[in-house]
Amino acid sequence: MGKSGGGKTSLIETLRGESIVYRKTQYIDYSDTFVDTPGEYAEGNDLGGALAVYSYEADVVGLVVAADDDFCIFPPACAPVANRPVLGIVTKCDSERARTDMATLWLENCGCERIFLTSAKTGQGIEELLAYLK
């Protein structure tokens, strides 16, 4: 879960070994190994409850923040309310506007137990994340 345009679907495509094709996520897609969610669900209170429900369908929850994001939508100390591992995933580490340290700090403040630094474009961090998930 994470902001719209943050790179969730691209990350999933990369983890699957597929090429990246831009497709706005329009609904919660739980048809396969990954549960992909539209960013809008994480951006407002009205749909946020659905993310909580779907998080209980998953073995592991990933909070996604792009390295070039200007702000973080997740509040501090939100991760420990889940009774399963909550990972922090920094996407777009290749971006020329990347502030990876800032994104990492935001996810640490959320209480994420592991933080992966990734790029769907360069493949950075993908093997490490796959190894963890496997």
Ligand X SMILES: Nc1nc2c(ncn2[C@@H]2O[C@H](COP(=O)(O)OP(=O)(O)OP(=O)(O)O)[C@@H](O)[C@H]2O)c(=O)[nH]1
Give CA–CA dist 105/26, Å, rounded. Answer: 30
* Residue 55 site contact among Mg ion, ligand X, none (CB < 5 to 8 Å, cut-off depends on kind): none
- Site map for Mg ion, 22-51, x if CB under 5 A? ---x--------------------------
**Angle of helix 126-133 versus helix 8-15 axis, rounded to 10:** 70
Q: Are 125 and 93 in contact (CB under 8 A)?
A: yes
* Residue 104 site contact among Mg ion, ligand X, none (CB < 5 to 8 Å, cut-off depends on kind): none
Q: CB within 8 A of 26, min separation 6: which ones?
A: 38
Residue from 17, 19, 21, 22 touching ligand X (CB under 6 A): that is 22
Q: Taking the complex as a whole, how short is the minimal distance between the CB of residue 121 and ligand X, in angstroms?
A: 4
* Residue 86 site contact among Mg ion, ligand X, none (CB < 5 to 8 Å, cut-off depends on kind): none
Residue 7 is a binding residue for ligand X (CB under 6 A): yes
- Burial class, 18, CB count within 10 angstroms (exposed 0-12 / middle 13-18 / buried 19+): exposed
Interface residues with ligand X (CB under 6 A) are 2, 4-10, 20, 22, 24-25, 38-39, 91-92, 94-95, 119-121
